Amino acid sequence: MNRFDGRRVLITGAGSGIGQATVRRVLAEGGTVVGADIAEPGLAATRALAEADGTADRLTTLTVDIGDEASVVAAVARATGLLGGLDVLVNAAGILRSEHTDRTGLDLWNTVLRVNLTGTFLMTREALPELLASGRGVVVNFSSTSATFAHPYMSAYAASKGGVQSFTHAIAVEYAKQGLRAVSVAPGSISSGMTDASGASGQNRGPGLPADADMSLYAKLTPALQSGNAYNFAGPETVAGVIAMLASDDGAFVTGTEVRVDGGTHA
């Protein structure tokens, strides 16, 4: 199934986790991809996987700090120049930082919002002219189950993802008559570098949560569907498949909404 034949796709967070899995999925379905990330070793790993898959001839990688305006402006210009335009933007890059809210410093708060919310805005703003010119542009943003369900110690992260969700609704209506679709995915109970570090499954505190975190508060965060790994979390390829549907013509009548991918954790 080559749903992305002739499609030009820019994916951030391409060096690991869901972003990396999405690069592989879109390439497997015929797309031409620029994968962007702040971490060069991660991008090298993504390229190695594409080479093993036999799809590396349609992959270009570049570095970007999505929280830095100048970096985003340069990266999007470079990416769209290489691709000769743009049909799909996937804003998968993001960070998770956890702390008691009463101990959350302004630096931590600003860092999380700068990357997750402002970074999504900057990437989208810079990509919009080419997405609109394509006549069938798609923006896939990353919200989170944290945006609408209680995840303790993650107030900054939840606020950033709630902002992404609202931002997505706004641009979906603003540009609908110009052929643009904008959707969010809201992953939860997905194994990635971000979630494994946070220990958010409730089975392992992990380095991401405060040392004195009350793990009983995570008792309800258990997937209804079992995946068989240590956390009972699904792999990042699970979300990549949903993104591929939303960004392709199979999602042609889906816009201005979010799709939760959490194995029933919040059913």
**Given 157, 175, 218, 231, which residue is catalytic?**
157
263 with 42: CB under 8 angstroms?
no
Question: How far is it, in rounded angstroms, from Cα 190 to Cα 195?
Answer: 7
**Pairing between strand 59-63 and 181-187?**
unpaired
How far is Cα 179 from Cα 254, in angstroms, rounded to an integer? 12
Which residues in 25-54 are b (16+ Cβ under 10 Å) and which e? bbbbbebbbbbbbbbeebbebbbebbeeee
Cα–Cα distance measured from residue 246 to residue 235, given in angstroms and rounded to the nearest whole number: 18
Amino acid at 143: S
Locate 241 and state its tokens: 């498949």
Catalytic (active site) residue 218: no
Supply the residues annotated as catalytic.
Answer: 157
